[in-house]
Every structure is written in structure tokens, then in C-alpha cells.
Amino acid sequence: MKIALASLAIALTAAPAAFAQGDVELSAGYSNVDIGSADLGALTGRGSYFFTRHLGVEGEASIGVKDDDVGLGKVELDHSIGAFGVVRAPISDRFHMFGRVGYATSELSASVPGVGSASGDFDGVAYGVGAKFFATERFGIRGDFTKYEGDDNDADVISIGAVVRF
């Protein structure tokens, strides 16, 4: 978790200089999180900084907005953060494909009426692929799939949202 936070802090520190160079992308959207038998939803924000045309870093933060009933209990995503290295392949000025790999940590809660509740962390390597299509020079949409591999569980996350580049 400390590595993820340090990477995110470095990316955010570099952001003011990056805005002047045109190497920053900000995005926000909805993520569907499939973990075990739970199907959860989250609002996700991302900030990306590209050192070159093809290589960059990305920080990500999500907060849970959709819980799921599993058996007699309820499962919810409290929050998730991650830091990634990104490789992008610009197919054209408006269409980019990308791959990313990094580390993410998430906190989940579960509760069963009359029994109690518990929470736990889900930490590990995360990797995925996606694409961005820019309708204008600055504004577009982003879709991606990311696999989160935790200590005891894995999660599949599909995200879609808006992206703006500077």
C-alpha cells in the first residue's frame, strides 16, 4: 500500500509541469467489480502522466456505490487505490489502446444481520488492457478491463468513463 501511495504522490507532484507539456489525462467513470460471488459497483477517478508517447504512469482511486447481497449478508467495496505503469499504442490521433500493470489495494466490508460485520483488505498485483476514443482533440471515452490478484481472491473489473487530455 505504501508503494501505491508513493507512486500516486509522485504522479500528482509531476502533474503541474505535465499540464504545460500536454502529457496528462484525467478520467472518471463507473467500474463493475466482480469479486467471488459479489458483483459490486464503484465510481473511479484516474490521473495519467506520459513521459513519452508510449510510456507513462497512472494513479487510480475508487469508492463503492453499489453493494451486493450474498447469501444472508451484504458485501460492499469501501474504497480502492492503485498505481500503474502504462504502455499505450496510439493507433491514430483519436484512438489509443493501452496495457497497464501495477499494485492496488482495496478495502471490503461484509455484514450479516444479527451476526455482525467484518472488513478486510485486498492487496496485490493488478494488470489490464483498454482503449480510448477521443471524439475531439481533448475529450473522449475510455473502456478497460483489469484483473486484480489478491492474497486469497481475485477480482475482475470492467470500467467505462470519460477522459480529457491536456
pTM above 0.85, yes or no: no
Phi, psi (rounded to 5 degrees) for 119: -135, 160
The C-alpha atoms of residue 131 and residue 144 are separated, in whole angstroms, by: 6
The pLDDT assigned to 18 comes to: 43
Give the mean pLDDT per block of 10 residues along the chain (166 residues). Answer: 48 49 87 91 97 95 92 91 96 95 93 85 93 96 95 90 95
The pLDDT assigned to 113 comes to: 86
The pLDDT assigned to 8 comes to: 47
